[in-house]
Structure 1
Amino acid sequence: MTQTLPLTGRDLFWPPADELTEAAERIRAVLGDWPPTHAPWRICLTAPDEPNGGDLIVIADAQQHGEQVARWLVQGAGVIVAAQGTAVLHLGGEKYRLEGQLAEDWIPALAAFLDCGFDPHDALVLALAWRDGDEIRGDDAFPHDIAHFPRVAGLPDAPAQAFARCPDRLGLYPVLPTAEWVERVVGFGVKTVQLRRKSAEPADELKREIARCVAAGRAHDAQVFINDHWQAALEAGAYGVHLGQEDVHTADLHALAAGGVRLGLSTHGFYEILTALHFRPSYIALGAVFPTTTKVMPTAPQGLKRLARYVRLLDGVVPMVAIGGIDLQVLPDVLATGVGCAAVVRAVTEAADPAGAVSALQHAFTQ
């Protein structure tokens, strides 16, 4: 058992429950060493008189507690509605709906994963992936079999056909701001790039930029993904499109899949990975691995330990791309997790010698 993260003596459950605490500590001991959580969540099996922002209140029937649930949420607490085969987390104005197996020890497992620092929606995913007795089946019982994981409910229908495949290991993946940059970098021999234009611009100009990128990809036998602008990318015959989680509700995924366009989806944890897998994309991007200044991130940096867990979970399921704060200095550590692709931004676009930077980055993939 790890000696640095004992659970006994903490305010883990309300009302206090020694048996649940002992089970949580037993599970926690085989999950590996993680930085201490900065959010001391408390799982409430009955509602406290004054719930607060650190409470997760577990109930079996939302309708029975309708007015109370609304009040608890206003007070800042989270609510988990758990019934046979389903668990719905209400937290921060969001609903996280999961369908899967509720093991007898799912509540102490939830406490253990919260203690590992996972946000409640990801900890709930892992708790539903837990199987009773996993803690005695090996030194490392962290869930890694995708077949045991729950599924996200209430998502739009996925396309009838899965998205076209891309290589299992995409290698170096520069994310670039303009068509000029795309032309330069594929000219250096890079085989996978992405155009990410975030500034507002006339539609005709955007279409010209995308057309240039598509032409450059074809000329250099490179795979060019277009970020966000899926309609223009589809019209231009782009190799692929990269979208965020929110885009799956608005983009015509059926048209993209039917058109043979590859799809990459951004994710920031286990719940979003399950959401992405529902749509059977060509790859899943996971980040930010390290702090990054290129965009505002919805979650804290993932770090290498979590990246290694995601790689193990998705091995043989779907190609994975690590992204966020990656440069030549940290790239060997990133690749040591087993991930087959690393996206970079400033490591190329802010390099004094972009060609030399690309060469050095590519060389790291051959070590």
Structure 2
Amino acid sequence: MIPIVVTIIFFLILSSFAVLYWKQKPNQQTSSVQLLEDQNFRVSYAELVKATNGFSSTKLIGLGRYGSVYKGIMDDGNTTVAIKVFNLLHRSASRSFIAECEALRNIRHRNLIKILTSCSSIDFQGNDFKALVFEFMPNGSLETWLHPKPVEDLHVNSLSLRKRLDIAVDIADALDYLHHNCQPPIVHCDLKPGNVLLDNDMCAHVGDFGLARFLNEGTGGHIQSSSTTVGIKGTIGYVAPEYGAGCHVSTSGDVYSYGILLLEMFTGKSPVDDMFQDGLSLCKFVEMAFPDGVMDIANPVLMLPEPSNIANSQRNGSDAAWKIQECMLNLVKVGLSCANQSWRERMSMRDAATMMHRIRDAYN
């Protein structure tokens, strides 16, 4: 009887070691670490290779700070996805991958990019491999609509004032959710047109959480410590000025970025435009024109009649012009308030979202 018991115990010990070894040494073909809760499916490195034709340059749809984004076809051709592959030669890429996984683990909002799964494995050469798989956004980024390149088959004139209002409201709602409905609050840290993606209905989704931070409890959402420290806190032109002075990230930093984005959307001027030098910035450019010269700096596209309301615009030209001017004045007020140089003087994202809804309702 004793030899049998000893044999059973020995077998159990060996089984435990086998399980441990399996967890520590993933198979290169099928390993996919479930870093995100509620994943719909797991995906292997080999499946991602197949989905992108070997990460072909013809499938490349975007380049970021820490990696590349590819269009992929999965589920036997039934599902189109966006696959973000991290360049692990960059020293902060792994931390960015973890930060994005942590930020996207529990958040759910119609105006945030939807993540489908993650893959942490090794490639066919035995190198570490990390990727995130997202819902595909067929209309690309807001950047390509605001500042299209000559080779891009997009019609910038189709992005009307009403559509820009819808997109601006979508972005405000997303940030309001991150700042005021998440526990702990999340600061995006890299809001810019390139990180706003548009779906088939031109609904905006904020993406790229590689620099996102969780705010420490009990700090009220202002200048404070954060839980991760991945690189620079944003992109030149959109970074809050206090960050350059060494302050920690805050919800106010996102508000500043939103203000800059708002001014960019309605003037058509990028904050890194060549005209902004020798002390002139996008904010100062707009401030100098406000209020009487706002229409002089507005993007000319916004003066065009709305496609769905051309007949009424022709009959009531003066009313339509007044409506646009009133809308622009209110938009610039919000933009300048959000992009105030002093973080203490900026409104909260909740107030900004509320005002943006009112402006859109009044224009509609």
Q: What interval of TM-score do these two structures reach, taking the shorter chain for normalisation?
A: under 0.3
Q: Could you say which structure has the higher helix fraction?
A: 2
Bigger CA radius of gyration: 2
**Structure-1-length-normalised TM-score:** 0.25
Q: Which has the higher strand share?
A: 1
**TM-score (normalizing by structure 2):** 0.25
